[in-house]
Amino acid sequence: MLPVLWALVLASQGRPSGLLVGLFIAGSFLMRSAGVIINDLADRSFDRQVTRTQTRPLASGALRPWHAVLLLGGLLAGAVSLLFFLNPLAIRLGPVALGLATIYPFTKRFFRIPQLFLGLAFGWGAVMAWAAVRNQLDPAVWLLFTATICWALAYDTIYALQDVEDDLRIGVNSSAILFGSHVWIAVGIIETAMLGLLATAGWLENLNGAFYGGLAGVAGFLSQQVRRLRGEVAPLEASIMFKQHVGVGFVILIGLWVGTL
């Protein structure tokens, strides 16, 4: 939801339509929920072998796959219905979101950095939101989209630290495995790129100094996380660090809005 709100605020210069905000919040909920179902359907055999995920309803057998498929169909129908309130450009971009959400769960089987596809899936909503506001795709939206990819790659690498041992045992890929002992360097570089992309998008859209002050605060917080990643990180701590990125997203959102005043 947060990258979508970033795009709505920036594209509208801080005055997003209430209708669009409501539509995209609902769309984020529906598509994220649908994505989780697709992921859990695809990974139910893996999830049974991972301590953190073995109690998920499909993995544990509490729900049958056809239950999930029925709910998935309802969620996707709801998401499609929202598209009809948008302009033609945003509607044409909609199927890409479904394609990315469907592909992502399978990438951990063959791609060394599946978190990259997660970023593509989460970031595409921002492209749709921008199109819904301006009915065109300006350079700033592609910077925002790429920044979202970087952000998801960083925070989901931290999230994946919880499952490294299990993932190695069952043979699935993750960026946490790929980066290994250099995960702190990789996350630091990726987050620096994210901040640079956001700053450039703000410059293109003529945001004021308050936005850059907010980014500086985010940079300070993220640098503390990167320093912590240099040492051994327990699964519970990785989960806490991952959840802290919700706050990071809201600070960026507030910065974007204040930066337009």
Instruction: Please give the pLDDT value at position 170.
Output: 87
Q: How many CB atoms lie within 10 A of CB 142?
A: 16
Predicted confidence (pLDDT) per residue in 51-81, tens digit: 888 898 999 999 999 999 999 999 999 999 9
Predicted confidence (pLDDT) per residue in 99-145, tens digit: 998 898 899 888 999 999 999 999 999 999 999 999 999 999 999 99
Instruction: Please give the pLDDT value at position 117.
Output: 92
CATH, residue 64: 1.10.357.140
Q: Give the span between the Cα atoms of 29 and 196, in whole angstroms.
A: 28
Predicted confidence (pLDDT) per residue in 192-240, tens digit: 999 999 999 999 999 999 999 999 999 999 999 999 999 999 999 999 9
Q: In the structure encoding, which two tokens stand for residue 34, read together?
A: 């649908």
Residue 5 has φ and ψ, to the nearest 5°, of: -70, -35
Q: Give the span between the Cα atoms of 187 and 193, in whole angstroms.
A: 10
The residue segments making up the domain with residue 133 are 2-259
Number of domains in the chain: 1
Instruction: Please give the pLDDT value at position 28.
Output: 95
Answer whether 2's CB lies under 8 Å from 245's CB. no
Instruction: Please give the pLDDT value at position 8.
Output: 98
Q: Give the span between the Cα atoms of 206 and 164, in whole angstroms.
A: 42
Predicted confidence (pLDDT) per residue in 183-198, tens digit: 999 999 999 999 999 9
Instruction: Please give the pLDDT value at position 49.
Output: 85
Instruction: Please give the pLDDT value at position 223.
Output: 97
Confidence of residue 258 (pLDDT cuts 50, 70, 90): very high
Alpha-carbon torsion, ordered 48, 53, 59, 65, to 10 deg: -140
